[in-house]
Structure 1
Amino acid sequence: MNYTLHQLQVFLKIAQHQSITKASEELHLTQPAVSIQLKKFQDQFSIPLTEVVGRQLFITEFGKEIAEAAEKIINEVYAINYKTLSYKGKLTGRLNISVVSTGKYVIPYFLSGFMDQHRGVDLVMDVTNKSRVVESLENNEVDFAMVSVLPRKLKVNTVELMENKLYFVGSSKLNLKGKASKRQLFEELPLIFREPGSATRNAMEAFLAKIRLPSQKKIELTSNEAVKQAVIAGLGCSIMPLIGIKNELKNNDLQIIPVTGLPISTTWNLIWLKSKALSPAAEAFLEYLEKEKKGIIADVFSWIDEY
């Protein structure tokens, strides 16, 4: 046996997701690179680790046992690194955070100072849609989650970070003659939605239901950046979080279109399970937020008050 730590890490991610595609995304590797590592790892065993049924990848019972062993080995390696640093008097450990996709414009600013102060802490951050964020929290896969809508079925502790406003936006090239009515905006213009499971999608659908104007033309995209680029290009309009369109407003690529009942206002929250036993690194991060949160908002996000 001559497998590497990297191969163990790759196989563990494949086993967790039962998908080479998802493993490659989380590891920031190409799919061919992940497939090559899987093959090299499999070549060292006479018993199959995976099997493909139809087009779906499955982990064999033997593969599941190897994945469990791989996780233990990887955790022991991390423990060695952390113990080395702790002997030097440094805070060590890992922060695992799951963040809804729009939160990527917010959470890095609340993390950067903390990570700079504590070089012995590793950060693992998964940016995905709300459904997956809540799932990872419920399965105790992460220390914290960042959401703008609190999950109803979970008992969580929360720290409020900052306000989240959503506006109706269109391309700056869109010429609205006079004051357009809601019916003109929402029935005549194509509307661009996020995918099901997105908190932004839920907010947009709730608003449309409230004003009782169903969209006649719908475009669905799977990321905030894709929606933003589509709106800039003139494919349609959308309800988008202000936090993600600062530069586009400044560069006059997008315009906020006034609509009665908007903006929708929610709050960015950092949440964790009440039953969660937080690590020293996680506890230290909460202490950091308590001391620095107001200053970070004032320094980085004061521009939001202009809208």
Structure 2
Amino acid sequence: MTAQAHSSTTKDELLEYRLSLRLGPVHARQRLRIEQEAEALIFGQDHHSFHLENWSASHHWIKGCLWISGMLKRGQRNSRKLKTAHNSFCLPNLPEAFEGLRILHLTDLHVDMDAANLQAVIDHIDPLEYDLCVLTGDYRKQTWGAIDDALAGMKKLRSAIQGRAIAVLGNHDSIRMLPGLEDMGYQILLNEHAWFERDGDTLYIAGVDDAHFYKAHNLHKAGDQIPHGSTTILLSHTPEIWREAGYAGYDVFLCGHTHGGQICLPGGIPVTLDSDCPRSLGRGAWRRNGMQGYTSPGSGTSVVNVRLNCPPEVTLHTLTRGPG
């Protein structure tokens, strides 16, 4: 065995050891083996979820169509023109200490897709005021391969995020990214929960592993230890588990994945949302099964660095007990 091969083997073994300690051996093995088996495949584990970005011709085909139509440059400019979307969740049982709590929601950043886009995100969030930042996955451009560029972009972003940053992984994100992200100061929830305390009151935040491609989510493990009757926020990369999340009793569901369609027809009508959920859950605020949710169209792009009739956004959520 060459010195280089030995070094690579040692690094892989160390990674597996760290992941086993962090996640438990079963979850670590599951995620690593699924990644190895499904790397660069077009269809997911259920043979229904679809990775358009893994179809080798898709990038050139879509880009060519946009160039012919004269919309390529316009779409690229649009992808860097972020807006701040403001959303409020009215929660009558919200502890008084959290009245007016502001949550910055970032998702689908694909930080290694376009350096100008990442810088636009950083510049956009710099003047914003918020109490907590949450991120709902898809930090890498590809769904396979190297992770170094994505980690470098996430490190740059972390320096721009004020205070605590709680995150989950998406279908583009390798579990191999976990140690690096946590070393940077991101608190990654993989079928786990965290809490946010203020003036003696507690807000609980649960997060699940990717439910779209890897099917590695576990709502029970994420929330079983949260005290009954607590105010709860669930972070999921995809809205696809909206039904079971509502039955589990979460108050708020934050997600992304859909990009809002990214390339939409006039009026913001998405051509596709790449998600097994009602189209009404594909972008913006929604309510289902007594649960309030928000699907952000995200800040980045996938497949091609273009947005049409679907501007990128960062979202500021405000929690309130309501009038009176």
* Coarse TM-score class (shorter-chain normalised): under 0.3
Q: So what's the TM-score if we normalise by structure 2?
A: 0.27
In our comparison, the structure showing a higher alpha carbon Rg is 1
Q: So what's the TM-score if we normalise by structure 1?
A: 0.28
Instruction: Please state which structure has a larger fraction of its residues in helix.
Output: 1
